[in-house]
Amino acid sequence: MKAYVCERYGAPEVLTVQERPQPVPQDREVLIKVHATTVNSGDCRIRALNAPYGFRFMMRLVLGFRKPRQPVLGTELAGEVVAVGKAVQRFAVGDRVLAFTSMAMGCHAEYRCLPEDGKLMPIPAGLSDAEAASLCFGGLTALSFLRRGRLQPGERILINGAAGTVGSALVQLARHQGGEVTAVCSTTNVERMYALGAAQVIDYTREDFTQRGERWDVIADTVGNAPYRRSKSALNDGGRLLLVLASLPDMLPAPWVALTTRHRIIAGPVSDCVADLHILVELAQAGVYRPEIDRCYPFEQMIDAHRYVDGGHKRGSVVIELLPD
Ligand SMILES: NC(=O)c1ccc[n+]([C@@H]2O[C@H](COP(=O)([O-])OP(=O)(O)OC[C@H]3O[C@@H](n4cnc5c(N)ncnc54)[C@H](OP(=O)(O)O)[C@@H]3O)[C@@H](O)[C@H]2O)c1
């Protein structure tokens, strides 16, 4: 099978397409023919070893010192089950499935084997392969941070970086949970944010949300430019700051802030779980959550897709199609 392999950290051009052995499912695994996958901000961070300030050494420890230990990137996929291990009970050949492999990655390939009890679900009716492949990275991150931030119905939430994969999921899911959403994005994305359910949109190219004299119960920052020192004046009493992207210096004040103020800083990696994937799929089935798709590339243009994502202004997800919808 063909797979994109990352044999050293660097620019998109470090990726090469290679022939690799097709995986064979173990007893409790299914073999999936990949129809669609995504290039997300996580893939590009890993490829480029682009860690938030203070985390570079830790990133090398976790991922591999000179190159990623798992050389095939890609954390999400949609496809078809083409073989099953002899003890598999939940899936059969021909099932359309979506999956999230998280740090195990390996989705930028024509085939991927996965355990049947992992983050693997049938694709809900009405969802294209491209949408199914785009469901998890933003959706699971958003669900996890909203839970940790204890958003309550009627509370005001501001989402900085609302047009990206995580941001657009946060807008939809916060609104679904009863939050009154303020989205922060550039001029070109303003109308889209209203369409996704934002009650108010702030164009960051014209206005700084921290200087409006307004306050929110929850502020979620997916950009990394709204740490506590900048956001505190915009937080209500009891407010929570969700740092989806945070440097080490941005995270260190969290215990002190919790001790000395009525604010909370919530940061760190997402602990995505199978239960959240079930919730997301149900929300997609109910039409409540629809992943935003910026553009699709054929498998052969993986490097172009990485270049585009590196630009930092994609709207929702960038999809790689191996079998166009
Ligand atoms: N903590 C975790 O476990 C976790 C999990 C997932 C992701 N992350 C991190 O979260 C971050 C966001 O991920 P993502 O996949 O959503 O990224 P993304 O899709 O690449 O985000 C791009 C978006 O950022 C917006 N943006 C750029 N500059 C901005 C600014 N100055 N103000 C407001 N918006 C701005 C852009 O909107 P405009 O074009 O309108 O500027 C664009 O739509 C990444 O750094 C990722 O590593 C962390």
Distance 278 CA to ligand 1 centre (A): 24
271 lines ligand 1 (CB under 6 A): no
Give Dmax (Cα) for the chain.
62
| Residue 8 near residue 48 (C-beta atoms within 8 A) | no
Residue range 53-62: mean pLDDT, rounded? 97
User: pLDDT band for position 145 (50/70/90)?
Assistant: very high
Residues in the chain: 325
pLDDT greater than 80 at residue 51: yes
CA 27 vs. chain centroid, Å, equals: 30
Give the pTM: 0.97
User: pLDDT band for position 205 (50/70/90)?
Assistant: very high
141 lines ligand 1 (CB under 6 A): yes
**Percent above pLDDT 70 for the chain:** 100
| Residue 184 near residue 198 (C-beta atoms within 8 A) | no
Residue range 51-74: mean pLDDT, rounded? 97
Q: Quote the CA–CA distance of 233 and 143 in Å, as a whole number.
A: 26
Distance 23 CA to ligand 1 centre (A): 33
pLDDT greater than 90 at residue 113: yes
Burial of 123 per CB tally in 10 Å (0-12, 13-18, 19+): buried
| Residue 257 near residue 264 (C-beta atoms within 8 A) | yes
Say what the pLDDT of residue 271 is. Answer: 81
Say what the pLDDT of residue 314 is. Answer: 97
Q: How many Cβ atoms sit within 10 Å of the Cβ of residue 6?
A: 24
Residue range 175-201: mean pLDDT, rounded? 98
CATH code linked to domain 137-267 = 3.40.50.720
Distance 267 CA to ligand 1 centre (A): 15
Please, which contacts does 191-194 make with residues 24 or more away whose CB atoms are closer than 8 Å? Answer: 192/163, 192/292, 192/315, 193/162, 193/163
Distance 185 CA to ligand 1 centre (A): 10
pLDDT per position as a tens digit, 287-299? 999 999 999 999 9
Nearest CA to ligand 1 atom 42: 313
Nearest CA to ligand 1 atom 36: 313
Domain residue ranges in the chain: 2-135+291-321, 137-267
The secondary structure element, H or E, covering residue 300 is: none
Nearest CA to ligand 1 atom 9: 245
Q: Quote the CA–CA distance of 134 and 88 in Å, as a whole number.
A: 26
204 lines ligand 1 (CB under 6 A): yes
pLDDT per position as a tens digit, 23-42? 999 999 999 999 999 999 99
Distance 164 CA to ligand 1 centre (A): 5
Q: Quote the CA–CA distance of 262 and 148 in Å, as a whole number.
A: 16
CATH 3.90.180.10 fits domain 2-135+291-321: yes
Average pLDDT, the chain: 97
**Percent above pLDDT 90 for the chain:** 98
Amino acid at 288: V
Going from the C-alpha of 312 to that of each of 20, 27, 307, the distances in angstroms are 31, 41, 10
Say what the pLDDT of residue 273 is. Answer: 87
pLDDT greater than 80 at residue 325: no
User: pLDDT band for position 257 (50/70/90)?
Assistant: very high
pLDDT per position as a tens digit, 231-247? 999 999 999 999 999 99
